C-alpha cells in the first residue's frame, strides 16, 4: 500500500520538473526575443545615424516646369551635395497635387520618400475637395518650410484705380462688381481675394483661369482689370511698365519690388498671406531623420546663392524648425478653412 502511494506521488514530482523546465525554456526564449529586439533597435539606431545610405525620392505632385517644381529641383540638387546621396525628383501630378501627396503618406516612413509640399494642396484642398485621400496633420511629418512666395495684385497701366483704396471704392461703385483673375478656383490667390472681400467689403468677382499664365495674358491685354498672382510672373511686367502693381500681400514689402506697398500699409490689418513650399515626409518618421533633414535644409537655405536663386523665383527663403513649420500648417488650415466655408468655394 505504501508503495502504491509512493508511486502516486511520482507524477507530482515529475510535474514540478516539467514546470521548472518550461519556465527555464520560457525565460531563455524571452531573453532571446529581448536580445533580438535590442539588436533590431541597435540596427535601426545605426541606420538612422548613418542616414542616408541610398538615394532619396522627392515627390513633386505637379508637372515639371512650374515654380513649385523648379524650387524643388533646386533644393534636391543642394541636398544631394550635402547628404552625399542623390535626391531624385519624381513628378507625380494630378488632382491639384492630391495624388502625389497621397503617395507620400502611404510610403514607408524611413526618410527615403519625401514630399515637396505646397500650401494649395496641404491647407486649401482639404477644404475645397470632397475627398483628398490624406489628412495633412495626421499623415505627414513636417521637416521644414523652404520659402514664402509673395502674392501681388496687378492691373493694366491704363486702369483708373491706382491704389488699393481706389480699387475697393471702384468695386463698390460698380453694380456688377470688379473682376479679378487668378490661376484657378481654390488656389491661394483665390483665397486671398475672398479674404480681401471679407475684410474690406470690396465687391470683387472671381474669374478662375486654367493657370496663372492665361490670367497674366488677359490682364496684359487689358481684357480683365485685376489679377491676383504670384509675384514671380509679374515682376518683369511691373518693372517694364506693362502692368501696374496695386499691393503685395506679405507682411513686409517684397525685396524684388520694394516700391510696391503691402495690403497692411493700405489699411488692411493682419493681411499676411503668402503661398509657400516646404519639405515633408510620411508620418512617424524617426525624429533623428527629421532633425537631420531639417538641419541640412536650413544650411541650404542660408546659402547666399540659393537664396538668390529662390528670390529670382519670387520665393523668400524661410529657414526654421520642423515644429514651426507644423504650426504654420495648422494655422493656415484653420484660417483658410474659415474663408473657404464663408465663400462656399468648391473644387471644379
Report residues of the chain scoring pLDDT below 50: 1-11, 13, 25, 40, 42-44, 46
Is residue 269 situated within a structural domain? no
Which of 196, 231, 248 terminates a domain? The answer is 248
Number of domains forming the structure of the chain: 2
Domain limits for position 165: 150-248
- Please give, one letter per residue, the 3-state secondary structure of the chain: CHHHHHHHHHHHHHHHHHHHHHHHHHHHHHHHHHHHHHHHHHHHHHHHHCCCCCCEEEEECCCCCCHHHHHHHHHHHHHHHHHCCCEEEEECCCHHHHHHHHHHHCCCCCCCEEEEEEHHHHHHHHHHCCCCCCCHHHHEEEEEEEEEEEEEEEECCCCCCCCHHHHHHHHHHCCCCEEEEECCCCCHHHHHHHHHHHHHCCCEEEEECCCHHHHHHHHHCCCCCEEEEEHHHHHHHHHHCCCEEEEECCCCCCCCCCCCCECCCCCCCCCCCEEEEEEEEECCCCHHHHHHHHHHHHHHHCCHHHHHHHHHCCEEECCCCHHHHHHHHHHHHHHHHHHHHHHCCCCC
Output the pLDDT for position 210.
80
The pLDDT value given to residue 268:
94
pLDDT tens string 13-30 = 455 655 565 566 456 565
Residue 33 belongs to a domain: no
Find the CATH number of the domain harbouring 72. 3.40.190.150
Q: Does 30 map to a domain?
A: no
| 97 within domain boundaries | yes
pLDDT at 9: 45
pTM, whole model, 2 decimals? Answer: 0.79
Amino acid at each position: 500500500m505504501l508503495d502504491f502511494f509512493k508511486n502516486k506521488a511520482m507524477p507530482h514530482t515529475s510535474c514540478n520538473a516539467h514546470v521548472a523546465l518550461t519556465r527555464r525554456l520560457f525565460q531563455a526564449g524571452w531573453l532571446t526575443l529581448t536580445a533580438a529586439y535590442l539588436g533590431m533597435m541597435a540596427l535601426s539606431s545605426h541606420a538612422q545615424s548613418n542616414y542616408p545610405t541610398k538615394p532619396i525620392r522627392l515627390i513633386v505632385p505637379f508637372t515639371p516646369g512650374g515654380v513649385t517644381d523648379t524650387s524643388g529641383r533646386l533644393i534636391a540638387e543642394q541636398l544631394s551635395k550635402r547628404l552625399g546621396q542623390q535626391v531624385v525628383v519624381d513628378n507625380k501630378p494630378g488632382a491639384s497635387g492630391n495624388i502625389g501627396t497621397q503617395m507620400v503618406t502611404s510610403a514607408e516612413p524611413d526618410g527615403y520618400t519625401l514630399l515637396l509640399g505646397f500650401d494649395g494642396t496641404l491647407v486649401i484642398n482639404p477644404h475645397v475637395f470632397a475627398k483628398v485621400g490624406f489628412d495633412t496633420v495626421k499623415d505627414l511629418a513636417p521637416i521644414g518650410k523652404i520659402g514664402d512666395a509673395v502674392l501681388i495684385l496687378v492691373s493694366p497701366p491704363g486702369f483708373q484705380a491706382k491704389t488699393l483704396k481706389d480699387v475697393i471704392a471702384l468695386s463698390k461703385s460698380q453694380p456688377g462688381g470688379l473682376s479679378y483673375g487668378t490661376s484657378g478656383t481654390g488656389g491661394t490667390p483665390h483665397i486671398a481675394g475672398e479674404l480681401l472681400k471679407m475684410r474690406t467689403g470690396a465687391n470683387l468677382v472671381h474669374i478662375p483661369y486654367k493657370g496663372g499664365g492665361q490670367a497674366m495674358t488677359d490682364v496684359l491685354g487689358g481684357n480683365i482689370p485685376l489679377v491676383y498672382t504670384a509675384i514671380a510672373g509679374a515682376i518683369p511686367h511691373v518693372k517694364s511698365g506693362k502692368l501696374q502693381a496695386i499691393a503685395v500681400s506679405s507682411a513686409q514689402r517684397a525685396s524684388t519690388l520694394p516700391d510696391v506697398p503691402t495690403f497692411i500699409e493700405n489699411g488692411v490689418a493682419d493681411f499676411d498671406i503668402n503661398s509657400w513650399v516646404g519639405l515633408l515626409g510620411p508620418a512617424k518618421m524617426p525624429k533623428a531623420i527629421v532633425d537631420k533633414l531639417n538641419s541640412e535644409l536650413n544650411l541650404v537655405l542660408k546659402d547666399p546663392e540659393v537664396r538668390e536663386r529662390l528670390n529670382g523665383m519670387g520665393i523668400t527663403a524661410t529657414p526654421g524648425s520642423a515644429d514651426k513649420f507644423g504650426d504654420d500648417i495648422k494655422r493656415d488650415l484653420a484660417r483658410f478653412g474659415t474663408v473657404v466655408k464663408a465663400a462656399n468655394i468648391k473644387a471644379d
